[in-house]
Structure 1
């Protein structure tokens, strides 16, 4: 056991302990944070920016709730972690809305918008006008306040310096993805494949769409936020944790997200990474392989039971989504992925359905 692993607040060892913390602490505190940002967003002067900010909070709340799960790994610092995770995820969801339904197709506009995510994880970075290259400008300081809050919370994480480079690297990959996937539809696939050629040494066994999916997850960043609560965190610890999450666990997260959104993305003309397999069977086999690679990876980082539960929780959360039953092909894939599920996954599946029914 390393010095980093000794004496840290204990994570829950099983699904019942995890969900009891989620119900008692995470869900209500995430809701409180989102209510504050919702109230802030209501005051945005520009009607389009206000509409997208409010829509991102209303329709993507579960992203913040899922990210908030990492606060169960350090309950004494949960207020800092939840505030940080909700702020960072809210930036991500807001910008995704702005780019998905954009009044612009300018890649430099998308890059400047996402500079806010890089500034948010860089203590001391001075926020700029992130809207400078688009028509809508006046958000009343909303995005700046989100960035500042992330920086303020990061200042309270004693081990952050050791994780900073790994976090920035993941944020940079995320930014690149958001630029390439939102440019003109006829340019997206070639831009993403060219980018993959430049980066493929980081995960040569993944297909280009799978690598792109891995870069779209914020879970690796959230796990490193949690690790940064420990003043004894070393750079090599942070590197090991990043490797435990990126690329496989992060890839699983986003591939499941795209799996259930296929009809929605088709209707909206949005790029979907599940559409690039030659058959449903190939897609199923690849996702199943990614699950196994992710399980293997998390054995090498502290609190392995927590990360195993994250994997099972992701499968349960997405495969229990009502959108699954509305899509025949997705329903087929879901049934096969859920076949012979461990009890942990079934437990999270039931809880995910209960949360959707009673808390939405």
Structure 2
């Protein structure tokens, strides 16, 4: 059996392989996309492509943990993860940094996400409503790279509907969250309230947070490498990730960015909690619910490593060293157990060495 198809028995073996084997693959893929962006397209779009590759590299690093899922050919899956996450990060920059807030333009740009995950559909013209249009084929090349890898998934038909549903929700969030401040919140609440009745126990901005994660998409693609995947297993994965693991991911992301977003006036879902205690209670709730759902999944040890890794990666950020954030951080780690704290210390070390 090829080495790429061996699955580490626990996080203790998964993490060293992740750092030693997967991180260099991620660097190679990012370097390839960087060269393409440097050599092609108009400067305005190339600059945004390069900025997203540089400042959001850790998104690709973190997402590539799924390349070590059982049965997944690691290098091929890293290629898919990096391409799909790079589309996400690049479009985020295009919507956030161009001084431009047109809903139709943002919606059209994000058709790249669903196109990337549905090889059967014709490609759209992503820049048709955007002020800059010539990216030298960068976005289309990213989309086609994803489509090439999607075609290799033997059980894709079992995950396609849910995968595209999450991709559409992600695209809708990105469209609304970048609108002008005067209309953004109402537009988002109208959209959220159409979906919220299906999800008991979560609040409007927690639903929005869950739509903002790509982890559920990555996991569904990884699961689809298994030709023996059943519809029931695919459904269990969907229910664990959306809204729980996805929600935990993005709530942690917004938690560490609270002060920055407050100063810049950027939207922050955690800021809707009325107190630090409420923030801690809800993050703890999502963490515990994610763990409960993971126990029902194929390869639960892998899922637990993902959730522990989310806590460790985000809570190891120096932005959690401020007194209020530190208190929440320490309480979350205490409630999660010894192993997440070990991973947290490892992530602190990786940050000091500029590996993470």
Aligned mate of 1:114, from 110, 113, 116:
110
**Matching residue of 2:279:** 283
Give the 5 Å matches for 1:45-84.
Answer: 45-74=41-70, 77-84=73-80
Q: Quick one: structure 1 residues 281 and 151, their matched pair in 2 at CA, closer, same or farther if it must change by over 3 Å? A: same
Structure 2 CA distance for partners of 1:340 and 1:240, relative to 1, 3 Å: closer
Q: Does residue 321 of the first structure (1) align with residue 317 of the second (2)?
A: yes
Match of 1:167 among 163, 172, 182: 163
CA distance in 2, matches of 1:339, 1:258: 20
Distance 1:82 1:213 in 2: 25
- SS of 1:247's partner is helix
Q: 1:185 and 1:307 mapped to 2: Cα distance? A: 37
CA 1:101–1:266 in 2, change beyond 3 Å: closer, same or farther? Answer: farther
Structure 2 counterpart of 1:27: 23
The change in CA–CA distance for 1:287 and 1:264 in structure 2 (over 3 A counts) is same
> 1:35/1:75 Cα in 2 relative to 1: closer, same or farther (>3 Å)?
farther
How many angstroms apart in 2 are the aligned matches of 1:43 and 1:124?
Answer: 30
Aligned to 1:240, the other structure's residue is in SS state helix
Residue deviations 1:83-107 (CA, integer Å, cap 9, x gap) = 0011000000111111122332111
Give 1:217's aligned residue. 213
Cα distance, 1:230 vs. partner? 1.1
Counterpart position of 1:3:
none
Residue in structure 1 matched with residue 325 of structure 2 by the alignment: 330
Residues 185-218 of structure 1 deviation map (CA, whole Å, 9 limit, x = unaligned) = 1212112211121101221311101000000000
Which residue in 1 is equivalent to 2:346? 351
Within the candidate set 141, 146, 149, 1:150 is matched to: 146
Equivalent-residue separation in structure 1 for 2:42 and 2:265 (angstroms): 26
Partner Cα distance (1:27, 1:207) in 2: 36
Checking the alignment, whether the CA contact within 8 Å between 1:259 and 1:274 is kept in structure 2 is: yes
Q: SS in structure 1 opposite 2:124?
A: coil
Taking structure 1 as the reference length, the TM-score comes to: 0.94
Q: Which residue of 214, 217, 226 maps to 1:230?
A: 226
State the Cα distance separating 1:58 from its structure 2 match.
0.7
Per-residue deviation, residues 157-187 of structure 1 (Å, max 9, x unmatched): 1111211111101101101111111111121
Shift of residue 48 of structure 1?
A: 1.9
Q: What is the distance in 1 between the residues matched to 2:183 and 2:166?
A: 24
- TM-score, normalized by length of structure 2? 0.95
- Map residues 267-282 of structure 1 onto 2, 5 A cutoff: 267-282=263-278
Native 8 Å contact 2:72 2:225 kept in 1: no
Q: Post-superposition shift, 1:143?
A: 0.1
CA distance in 2 between partners of 1:131 and 1:266 (Å): 31
Contact 2:41 2:134 in 1 (8 A): yes
Number of residue pairs matched? 352
Task: Output the CA distance in 2 between the equivalents of 1:10 and 1:34.
Answer: 25
Instruction: Give 1:350 deviation, angstroms.
Output: 2.0
Q: Measure how far apart 1:53 and its partner are.
A: 0.7
CA drift of 1:20 comes to 1.9
Question: For the Cα contact (< 8 Å) 2:72–2:222, is it kept in 1?
Answer: no
Compute the displacement of 1:305 (Å): 1.0
- The 10-residue stretch of structure 1 (341-350 or 114-123) with the greater mean CA deviation from structure 2: 341-350
Which residue of 11, 14, 23 corresponds with 2:10?
A: 14
CA RMSD of aligned residues (A): 1.6
Residues 322-359 of structure 1: per-residue CA shift (max 9 Å, x gap): 1222x443223212212354221122112212222222
Do 2:313 and 2:344's aligned partners in 1 also have CA atoms closer than 8 Å? yes
Flag the 1:25–1:309 CA change in 2: closer, same or farther, 3 A.
same
CA distance in 2 between counterparts of 1:268 and 1:46 reads: 28
User: Does residue 179 of structure 1 match 2:175?
Assistant: yes
Q: Is the counterpart of residue 206 in structure 1 residue 187 in structure 2?
A: no
